Amino acid sequence: EIALCKTGFPEDVYSAVLSQDVHEGQPLLNVKFSNCNGKRKVQYESSEPADFKVDEDGMVYAVRSFPLSSEHAKFLIYAQDKETQEKWQVAVKLSLKPTFPEDSVKESQEIEEIVFPRQVSKHNGHLQRQKRDWVIPPINLPENSRGPFPQELVRIRSDRDKNLSLRYSVTGPGADQPPTGIFIINPISGQLSVTKPLDRELIARFHLRAHAVDINGNQVENPIDIVINVIDMNDNRPEFLHQVWNGTVPEGSKPGTYVMTVTAIDADDPNALNGMLRYRILSQAPSTPSPNMFTINNETGDIITVAAGLDREKVQQYTLIIQATDMEGNPTYGLSNTATAG
């Protein structure tokens, strides 16, 4: 048998942890509505329309800017069937991410200026970098930045600007190659800026080359490589590969018998907490002869039996609600999703 899909919001509460106060137009989180037959057309509405709005995909946005406080921390989202007028609701909880001392240290360590390495001229006239290795640290730029744009990143400069009038440029994907125009540089000051929010799930790293020429277009510096890492934010909820999973287990099986494996994926960085998932069983129906007939490996999603007493004459099918949570299962900061196993 296949467990029946339940129309509505799969979770009782959706939560999001914000690193800063709420700003106008800021995407906050996505509320997922389970549309079992795929034919329902629902429209979303917020219980606080002056502060929050929901688009047709379930993404919740801030209508205005305001400091996050207890009065804004909780509100409701409604989904209503346009034809039947049937209505569902779910709670949304917002909380402010605590500030750690390390955060301020990282900000203070961000580079503000990149200077072309000094060069020596060989007898053939070609420029060559000095012998010691020249390593330019990457620029770390969080995704989903709110701007304002253009947002200044770093100034690129040559020591030769003291004696020459120079012009700066950057090349590479994201600058003069597709996707073009994401990064721009002021040709006179060398100020490098980003023009729009970045999405790590689309492009996780940009490789640019910075150039310096004189006013006649003659190269005065060897090009340098600029690496921009897009830092992951926890903006994606885990998604199960299937909403309903089916497994079988022989009656009378001993504890420890393998039943099935459920799998969820997260579009966030799998090597960071944002993309590290943990599984757990939320409920079992029916709860006889024991409410804990099964257990799940919280890292692999393997489901096994933990109690004896599987008797098909008494219970033909068990239905489990499985939850996957990122941030290594952190209930406060992690984003979750559910699936059914039967």
Same domain, 240 and 341: yes
Same domain, 273 and 334: yes
Same domain, 187 and 251: no
Same domain, 177 and 223: yes
Residue 130 lies in a domain: no
Alpha carbon 324 to its chain centroid, in Å, reads 15
Residue 254 lies in a domain: yes
Nearest to 154 by CA among 175, 176, 182, 185: 185
Domain total of the chain: 3
Residue 131 lies in a domain: no
Measured between alpha carbons, how far is 322 from 242 in angstroms, rounded to an integer? Answer: 12
Same domain, 83 and 187: no
Same domain, 218 and 277: no
User: Parallel, antiparallel, or unpaired: how do β-strands 302-305 and 224-231 relate?
Assistant: unpaired
Q: Which string of DSSP letters, residue by residue, matches 153-164? A: EEEEE-GGGGTS
Same domain, 175 and 203: yes
Beta carbons within 8 Å of 14's beta carbon, 6+ residues apart: 29, 31, 77, 90, 91, 92, 93
Residue 104 lies in a domain: no
Residue 67 lies in a domain: yes
98: which 2 tokens? 């605590």
Peptide bond into 289 cis (omega under 30): yes
Residue 215 has pLDDT above 80, yes or no: yes
Q: What is the pLDDT of residue 268?
A: 92
Express each pLDDT in 309-323 by its tens digit.
Answer: 899 999 999 999 999
Same domain, 188 and 263: no
Domain that holds residue 184: 110-117+136-231
Bridge partners (DSSP) of residue 79 are 44, 88
Residue 11 has pLDDT above 70, yes or no: yes
pLDDT band at 243 (very low <50, low <70, confident <90, very high): very high
pLDDT band at 119 (very low <50, low <70, confident <90, very high): low
Which residue, 184, 215, 231, sits at the end of a domain? Answer: 231
Same domain, 77 and 147: no
Flag the least confident range among 117-131, 169-183, 327-341.
117-131
Domain with residue 250: its CATH number is: 2.60.40.60
Residue 301 is classified by DSSP as: -
Amino acid at 205: R
Express each pLDDT in 36-82 by its tens digit.
Answer: 666 778 899 999 998 899 988 888 888 888 887 766 678 999 999 88
Same domain, 240 and 206: no
Measured between alpha carbons, how far is 95 from 16 in angstroms, rounded to an integer? Answer: 6
Alpha carbon 58 to its chain centroid, in Å, reads 16
Residue 30 lies in a domain: yes
Same domain, 157 and 258: no
Q: What is the pLDDT of residue 194?
A: 94
User: Parallel, antiparallel, or unpaired: how do β-strands 42-46 and 52-54 relate?
Assistant: unpaired
